[in-house]
Amino acid sequence: MNFKDFKLHQDIVDGLQMMGFKEPTPIQQQAIPFILDNRDLIACAQTGTGKTAAYLLPTIHHLMEEQTNRESVNTLILAPTRELAIQIDQQMEGFSYFTAISSITVYGGSDGAAFEKQKNALKQGADVVIATPGKLISHLNLGYVKLDHLRHFILDEADRMLDMGFYEDIMRIASFLPKERQNLLFSATMPSKIRQLAKTLLNDPAEINIALSKPAEGIIQVAFMVYDKQKLPLLEHLLKAKHIGSMIIFCSRKSTVKEIDRALQGLDYGIAAMHSDLEQQERENILRQFRNKQLHVLVATDILARGIDVEGIELIINFDVPNDAEDYVHRIGRTARADKKGAAFTFVSEQEQYDFANIEQLIETTVIKANVPEYLGESPSYDPDRPRRSKGGRKGFKSGKKGKKSKS
């Protein structure tokens, strides 16, 4: 099957050829016909499956076929983070390169001049608005956003938006929209709260469920059983042992990201931290330098686990075990892309062993357990039946207890 089989507008096919797209992915094969048929849709597909193109391509086709009101917004796409909003817009530009369709991004963290630019664009109208919920609410409250002719409402990474507390914002935004519209909901997971949201917003939707992919075979997965106080020394040891061209260190909290960033600045690496306290321009600069290999190490929260496509990442380090087992798959999926090799190391404290056991169960793999260097002292043995960590999470990597050295 190829994209011509969907009978998309020729200008869209030309854009796909320019971008090197040849055969549709499974989510695209299943979703595009439903969307072209104006059905509401709820789709479960993880990052990296091509879901953005799955909704953008038929939506652009609709835009080219419909008689749109150029003074109003035709399509609204909500995304949880500005990084994902920007990435969606970049793909939108590529797919619609040979068309006259316009799109704008609306997200927070910008200065006054950027807000005014967004305001003017929204007042003039655009075919497609790609927005984060909070910032769009700010514009809606000022009364100049025209959504009365909206035809398509798309939620991307809906589970992440709900995790970030955007439910009320989504429902408020929906209250501004006409009742007659097409609704598309894409999510990497499908918990009950997503189904409840879909029941509230969607009308007799078609359903697609692309099973969670297991980590790529090219990823070497290794776990280190450690006490919290051993995590930072182990990280420094790994960085000094071998120069890695490109790597991401994932942490569960931005406070940990900042602490690691400070600790590693003395090493001979190009290191930068990525977290929500940075201004948008700073984050864009860091990502650009990382893509261009001017930076070799990114220390980041899960903001980079989804929706960010950077080629050539050789190593992923999970400084903290993610609470959600599926987030592990998203994190390590940043490496070994396009059939290349990569590695993923995970530091597992005593309190995190229960969560790591859930990860092994999800991916149906027993991850290699490696010993920490002897000079770091004794480390805990692996006991997946240990009580789960408290909601307070990790106590900090400067504390810990002594115990038996891991035999694994």
Q: Give the model confidence (pLDDT) of 20-51 as tens digits.
A: 888 899 999 999 999 999 999 999 987 767 89
117 in the same domain as 13: yes
**Structurally, how many domains does the chain consist of?**
2
Its pTM stands at 0.70
Q: What is the CATH number of the domain that holds 61?
A: 3.40.50.300
148 in the same domain as 183: yes
22 belongs to a structural domain: yes
| 266: CB partners within 8 A, 6+ apart | none
Indicate the Cα dihedral angle 56, 58, 63, 67, nearest 10°.
-160
121 in the same domain as 227: no
∠ CA 352-354-355 to the nearest 5 degrees?
Answer: 65
119 belongs to a structural domain: yes
| Mean pLDDT value across residues 165-193 | 92
237 in the same domain as 129: no
Q: How confident is the model at residue 387 (pLDDT cuts 50, 70, 90)?
A: low
150 in the same domain as 23: yes
203 in the same domain as 56: yes
End residue of a domain, out of 209, 228, 257: 209
236 belongs to a structural domain: yes
Q: How confident is the model at residue 89 (pLDDT cuts 50, 70, 90)?
A: very high
384 belongs to a structural domain: no
392 belongs to a structural domain: no
User: What is the bridge-based pairing of β-strands 368-370 and 219-225?
Assistant: parallel
End residue of a domain, out of 184, 209, 234: 209
- Residue 179 has a pLDDT of 94
Which position has the higher pLDDT, 391 or 194? 194
78 belongs to a structural domain: yes
Contact (CB, 8 A) for 9 and 61: yes
Q: What is the DSSP string of 17-58?
A: HHHT--S--HHHHHHHHHHHTT--EEEE--TTSSHHHHHHHH
92 in the same domain as 164: yes
Per-residue pLDDT of 236-263, as tens digits, reads 999 887 777 789 999 988 899 999 999 9
| Mean pLDDT value across residues 303-332 | 82
The DSSP call for residue 217 is: T
94 belongs to a structural domain: yes
316 in the same domain as 173: no
Q: What is the distance, to the nearest Å, from the Cα of residue 314 to the centroid of all Cα atoms in its chain? A: 19
151 in the same domain as 126: yes
3-state secondary structure of 229: helix
Contact (CB, 8 A) for 72 and 149: yes
148 in the same domain as 27: yes
245 in the same domain as 123: no
- Spatial distance between the Cα atoms of 187 and 46, rounded to a whole number of angstroms: 7
> Can you give the residue range of the structural domain that contains 92?
3-209
195 in the same domain as 231: no
18 belongs to a structural domain: yes
